[in-house]
Structure 1
Amino acid sequence: MKSSTNSATSGMQSARNSVTQSPWLRHYHPADPDAPLLVCFPHAGGSASFYFPASQALAPEIDVLAVQYPGRQDRSREPLIDNVPELADRVFDDFRQFADGGRPFAFFGHSMGATVAFETALRLADAGLPAPARFFASARRAPSRTRPDQVHKRDDNGIIAQLRDLSGTDSRVLGNEEIMRMALPSIRNDYKAVETYRSDTGVRIDCPVTVLVGDTDPTTTLDEAEAWRDHTTRGDAEIQVFPGGGHFYLTDWPANVLNAITSRMGADIRRGKTFA
């Protein structure tokens, strides 16, 4: 028994060490060896560091991996990927070792991140690997619900106006022309990826789904959020609505978001930490 335990621990450590060599996954804080894994997928224009506060708050009881898309931060020189399927392919290639590592894991995707996470979960199933123990879809309508959005075709001022409407970018960044010019290519690219994505109603993942949404989010109505029930084999999707919350409700309700995650992942964290 001891030999088996040591072998499993060694395998988990090997997988964790490989994160430092992965361009797609970031690991910010150490966690308990048997801690469940939470894989976090950023929004359009977002980066892995958006989840640094969550990683800090959840460690060591929950081990957070944050996805880093190319074309931003330490990957700023890499070519952008403008479609969701390819993004999911690449994340899956790096994450599959963890899916088969014996620890339970969950996916958390905010906005575009929920769509990329959904496609990544489908690839796990296609490969015969375990499904997430829980799928958190944050501020994103169901994959089969589409809108004729064309934000990626707007001029720079039009995209900046969209960011202001969603309040997802620091006002200091929005007012800094140099920083915005650097960020706009990845933002436009991500909008193209999510606005051109399509999925059928019958495509389902084999895990329970929790949808988190603000009741004033202009990108996701309650009806569009509830349509996630069409994309899980586990029956009706669970919906948690945050009153007065917009698209980035999670920065207004940080403790509540953490509670939603920890209560459904079986972790008991009561230290007053927050998401932001």
Structure 2
Amino acid sequence: MNSVASFNVTKQKAAWWRIYQPQPQAKQRIICLPHAGGCASFFKKWTMTLPSSIELVTIQYPGREERLAEPLINNMDELIDGLIIALTEQQLLDKPYLLFGHSMGGYIVYELCLALRECNLPLPYQLVISASEAPTHKNTSSLHLDSDQALLDELEKLNGTQFSLATHPELAQMLLPIIRNDYQLIESWRPKPNSLPLDIPLTTFIARQDTELTEEQALAWQQQTTKNFHCEYFQGNHFYLIEEQAKVIQALLKIAKQQMTSHYQWTMTP
């Protein structure tokens, strides 16, 4: 890790995460990483339906919302360095936790798990990757080099916003640099060759009408774990979790409940 980058990241470590509804007595955490162009508040409504036994932590990438004045990060390794520092120094890994990443966030949580393993830090009890192709099926593209209009067309196709940016030029002007940056991060990321599979149960969430992801690409995540692999299907497009929020949370709660049941049985074993 670069020493200068380390200092800057450490200085800003408290800004890397948001807990919109603290749950000091929670038994576990769900840590969410958003999509390209996304921010922590994308998951804010989730806190309204989670039980007090689960604390929701949402990651805030630099250069958006309250971190708007900070430089964006377009390099996966630098982003992972920042996350490792923030999560460990803020003691967010001191309880059983689930990692959830949507789209770009799916690639990031995978790389984060590899880094946590390398650093001998606590690993999540479950990795949930949403709307992301497996490393062995990573698409090659260069959208970050295309025109603003091409990026806007891509967003329209994905339906990642609940309104058209084409009719909100001022908002588009603010968001386009962030989206271009995040696409550069995704498109320049090269999965590490010959990485050993993770010893973590892995679940993929797939939207049936997602034109950006095939079932084959999503199911190939099974190659990245030595533990149980499962796939959950939802109705909708690439951003299905907006309309399917209740079902997504229900699926995550089912996983969380299974983890706590297993933990209880393990602790009660003579």
Question: TM-score, with normalisation over the residues of structure 1?
Answer: 0.84
* CA RMSD across the alignment: 1.9
Cα distance change of structure 1 residues 265 and 174 upon mapping to structure 2, 3 Å threshold: farther
Match of residue 78, structure 2, among 82, 86, 91: 86
Cα distance change of structure 1 residues 79 and 166 upon mapping to structure 2, 3 Å threshold: same
Match of residue 67, structure 1, among 59, 73, 81: 59
Query: SS of 1:182's equivalent?
Result: helix
Paired residue for 2:243? 252
Query: SS of 1:30's equivalent?
Result: coil
Structure 1 CA distance for aligned equivalents of residues 101 and 36 of structure 2? 11
Paired residue for 1:133? 125
Paired residue for 1:35? 27
Match of residue 121, structure 1, among 113, 118, 128: 113
Identity of aligned residues (%): 33
Query: SS of 1:171's equivalent?
Result: coil
1:219 aligns with 2:212: yes
Describe how 1:193-232 pairs up with structure 2 within 5 A: 193-199=185-191, 200=193, 202-232=195-225
Structure 2 CA distance for aligned equivalents of residues 253 and 267 of structure 1? 22
The answer as to whether partners of 1:47 and 1:72 remain within 8 angstroms in 2 is yes
The answer as to whether partners of 1:99 and 1:129 remain within 8 angstroms in 2 is no
1:153 aligns with 2:110: no
Structure 1 CA distance for aligned equivalents of residues 93 and 72 of structure 2? 28
Once the two structures are superposed, what CA deviation does each residue of 1:165-198 show, in whole Å capped at 9, x if it has no partner? 0000131544210111011101000011011212
Structure 1 CA distance for aligned equivalents of residues 207 and 72 of structure 2? 29
Match of residue 166, structure 1, among 151, 158, 163: 158
Once the two structures are superposed, what CA deviation does each residue of 1:127-182 show, in whole Å capped at 9, x if it has no partner? 11121001110111112322122211110011000000000013154421011101
Question: TM-score, with normalisation over the residues of structure 2?
Answer: 0.86
The answer as to whether partners of 1:144 and 1:201 remain within 8 angstroms in 2 is no
Q: Which is worse superposed, 214-223 or 192-201?
A: 192-201
Structure 1 CA distance for aligned equivalents of residues 49 and 172 of structure 2? 29
Q: Which is worse superposed, 219-228 or 145-154?
A: 145-154
The answer as to whether partners of 2:87 and 2:93 remain within 8 angstroms in 1 is no
Letter aligned with residue 216 of structure 2 = D
Match of residue 144, structure 1, among 129, 136, 145: 136
Structure 1 CA distance for aligned equivalents of residues 64 and 138 of structure 2? 27
Paired residue for 1:273? none
Letter aligned with residue 74 of structure 1 = E
Aligned length: 246
Letter aligned with residue 159 of structure 2 = S
The answer as to whether partners of 1:61 and 1:267 remain within 8 angstroms in 2 is no
Task: Give structure 2 stretches of 5+ with no counterpart.
Answer: 1-11, 260-270
Shift of 1:118: 1.1
Shift of 1:229: 0.8
Letter aligned with residue 222 of structure 2 = R
1:179 aligns with 2:171: yes
1:233 aligns with 2:243: no
